[in-house]
Amino acid sequence: MTESQYHELVDQLLLSIEEVLDEYPVDIDTESAEGILTLTFENGSKMVLNKQEPLLQLWVATKFNGHHFNYEDGLWIDERGAGEFWAFLDAAMTVQAEQPVALGLS
């Protein structure tokens, strides 16, 4: 994957999350700047998604731990075995929001 393709993929992914959360019934605030999307939950906890351009990865820092995703065969896959990004994100957001979250993105 080229750097240009990488930026296009991650930028679209972060924008998709931000757009869905603008209309989502669970109150999750978003703030984006320069390849970083910060999610702030009602309980005050945060989740940060950001580009790691040198590695062509997408990083996610949750209240509990951090995950690094590589783009493989059309999917973002956690390099430590937490699975595919969208399933991981819904599960992590559910834990952090303390209520069910299913964005319906993939």
Domain total of the chain: 1
72 in any annotated domain: yes
The pTM of the full predicted model, rounded to 2 decimals, is 0.92
Give the CATH number, domain containing residue 56: 3.30.920.10
74 in any annotated domain: yes
Q: pLDDT tens per residue, the chain (106 residues)? A: 999 999 999 999 999 999 999 999 999 999 999 999 999 999 999 999 999 999 999 999 999 999 999 999 999 999 988 799 999 999 999 999 999 999 988 7
Domain coverage including residue 68: 3-97
How does DSSP assign 34-94, residue by residue? Answer: TTEEEEEETTS-EEEEEEEGGGTEEEEE-SS-EEEEEEETTEEEETTS--BHHHHHHHHHH
